[in-house]
Amino acid sequence: MTTVFISADIEGISGVVHNDHAGPGQGEEYGRARRLMTRQVNAAVSGALEGGARLVIVNDSHGGMRNILIEELDPGARLITGSPKPLSMMQGVEGCDLAFFLGYHTMAGTPGVLGHTYSSRTVHELRISGQPAGETLVNAGLAGYYGVPVVLVTGDSGVAAEAAAILHGVRTVAVKEAVGRYAAVCLPLKEADALIREAARDAVRDALGPAGRPEPYRPPSPARFELRFMNTAQADAASMVPGSERLGPLVVAFTDEDYVTAFQAARVMMTVAGSVDSY
C-alpha cells in the first residue's frame, strides 16, 4: 500500500501574501487563507489518490498547526493537527513512501512571499553543515532520514527554484510569483488546483512505474545546525541549550551524528530564543 505524506504550510498558497493571511487572530483574512490552504491540500490529496496512493497523511505545518479545516478535507486523507510535535512540520513521515511539500516558501533572507526559516522572529539564517537551508532542505533531510523521497513541492516561484536546486527529480508547481515580500502575481484558484492535482498524480504514478521511487535526499552526518539569530539576547538564550556551541555574538550551533537529534536541538534553540523580549 503506497502512503503519501503531505507537509502543508500556508505562505506558499495562491492568494496568500501578507501576515494577515498567516496569523490566527487576524479575522476574516486568516479565515480565507485557511480555506484556500485546505482547498489546495485537497487538490494534492485527490491527485495522489488518482496516481495510485492508497492513503494520504496530511500534517498541518503552519504556525500553531491548527489551520486546515478538517470538515472540508478530502475524506481520503488523515490529518495530523496541533503542536508541539516531535518532528514538527514532518510529523507522520515515518513509514510513508513519498512526500509532498505543499504551500512552502523561500528561506530567510532570500526573495519570496513571506520567506523565513521556521521562525521569522528569531532566525536570520540557518546553515546545515555549512549549506544555507530553508524549510525545504531541513524537511527534506528529515524525510530522507526515514528513507522517504520528496517528489513534489508547491509554493511561489522562488521556493520552486530552491527545491529544484537541491532535490533531484522533484516536481514543482509555482502557484504565484513574488513581486515583493508582501505581494505576488497569483494564479487563479482553479488553475492552481488543476496544476497541483496533475503534478501530484504524475509524481505518484511515476514512483509506482518501472523507474520506481527516486532516491531520497540523504542528510549529512554528522549534522551541524548553525543558527544566526536576530539579536544577541536571542543567541544568549539559545546558547544555554546543553551541547550547543557559541560561535559569535549572533551565532549558535549544535552538532550530532544523528540528524533528528540535531534538528530537535535546533528547534529548542529557536523556541528558547523566541522567549526573549525584543527591544
Is the backbone of residue 107 left (phi > 0), alpha (psi -120 to 50) or beta?
A: beta
The full DSSP string for 93-126 is: -TT-SEEEEEEE-PPTTSSSTT--SS-TTTEEEE
Separation of alpha carbons 257 and 220, rounded Å: 9
Q: Is residue 116 annotated as a catalytic residue, yes or no?
A: yes
* φ, ψ at 78 (rounded to 5°): -115, 130
Q: Amino acid letter at 47?
A: G
User: What residues does 77 pair with on adjacent strands?
Assistant: 56
Three cell numbers written together for 69:
479545516
Buried/exposed 151-163: b ≥16 CB within 10 Å, e otherwise? bbbbbbbbbbebb
Bridge partners, 229 (sequence order): 123
Q: Which is the catalytic residue, given 105, 116, 124, 168? A: 116
* Active-site annotation, residues: 116
